Amino acid sequence: MTAAAGLFSELPTQARIYENGLVHVPAYLGPGAQRALLAEIEEALAEAPLFRPAMPRTGKAFSVRMSNCGPLGWVSDRERGYRYQAAHPQTGKSWPKIPALVLKAWKDLAGYPCLPEACLINFYDAAARMGMHQDRDEAALDAPVLSLSLGSSCVFRFGGTTRAGKTEVLELASGDALLLQGAARLLYHGVTRLIPETSPLPDSDLLPADSRINLTLRRVTRPVSC
């Protein structure tokens, strides 16, 4: 049995597995778990506030604000580009621990023996987008990238492993999980737009109406053992 077959046999029954290996698990987190996760993210952001990354070379600001949890965090700026580092770029402090509920999702869904090292927190307001890109700053490309979404639904676009070619969309709603794994690990993907008035969570300072938080969990370094 391949690792992928092992993974697929463990997935929740509502999981949709695309031909390319992309796995969408609608409503992986129920309403109570979504609220509990939001509270864990609030604690993490109190220690590691959202910052606005910039594109390498051009210095163009991202429309998404970000922070991280875990031993490593993903950052980007004009001078040094995309990278993982152990400290917040503004406070200089270590990133907070990955919340327990997030680690549980990794253990439930990732089908990977070692723990993730980075949990990127993306915050989208109504106007934010994420351009088409591959997640390829990790040495451990055998590990999946697991994403969890909270708040407004979004239009998530994905294509193939080159920039050219056909793309498809799917809607990611609050509580959904998505796995970029196997042949889908290096798919180009991005967020086209948020869908207004779709958040099932109450408005709050952390997650106002028409905004979205997405967490992506990554194994960065190749494990020696775990």
Ligand X SMILES: O=C(O)CCC(=O)C(=O)O
Residues that bind ligand X (CB under 6 A): 120, 122, 130, 135, 147, 156, 172, 189, 191, 214, 216
For the segment 88-117, give every residue that binds Mn ion (CB under 5 A). none
68 touches, from ligand X, Mn ion, none (C-beta below 5 to 8 Å by class): none
Q: Quote the CA–CA distance of 152 and 57 in Å, as a whole number.
A: 32
Contact partner at residue 214 from Mn ion, ligand X, none, CB < 5 to 8 Å by partner kind: ligand X
List the one residue from 117, 135, 138, 210 that touches Mn ion (CB under 5 A).
135
For ligand X, which is the closer residue by CB, 221 or 224?
A: 221
Closest separation between CB of residue 152 and ligand X, Å?
A: 11
Least Cα distance to 28 among 192, 158, 215, 197 occurs for: 215
Q: Which is nearer to Mn ion, 135 or 138 (CB)?
A: 135
Minimum CB distance to Mn ion smaller for 28 or for 74: 74
Compute the least distance from the CB of residue 66 to ligand X, in Å: 8
DSSP string, the chain: --HHHHHHHHS-TT-EE-TTS-EEETTSS-HHHHHHHHHHHHHHHHHS--B--B-TTT-PBPSSEEEEESS-EEE--TTT-SEEESB-TTT-PBPPPPPHHHHHHHHHH---SSPPSEEEEEEE-TT--EEEE-----S-TTS-EEEEEEES-EEEEE--SSSSS--EEEEE-TT-EEEE-GGGTT--EEEEEE-TT---SPP-SSS-TT-EEEEEEE--SPPS--
In this structure, are residues 106 and 189 in contact, taking their beta carbons and an 8 Å threshold? no
* Residue 120 touches which of Mn ion, ligand X, none (Cβ within 5-8 Å per kind): ligand X
Q: List the single partner that 153 binds among Mn ion, ligand X, none, CB under 5 to 8 Å by kind.
A: none
Name beta bridge partners: 171: 155
CB of 112 or CB of 124, closer to ligand X: 124
Q: Select the span of 11-19, 79-87, 109-117, 130-138 touching Mn ion (CB under 5 A).
A: 130-138
Q: Minimal distance in Å, beta carbon 214 to ligand X?
A: 3
Binding of residue 138 to Mn ion (CB under 5 A): no
CB of 224 to ligand X, least distance (A): 26
> Contact at 8 Å (CB) between 109 and 25?
yes
Minimal CB distance residue for ligand X: 214
Residues of this chain that bind Mn ion (CB under 5 A) = 135
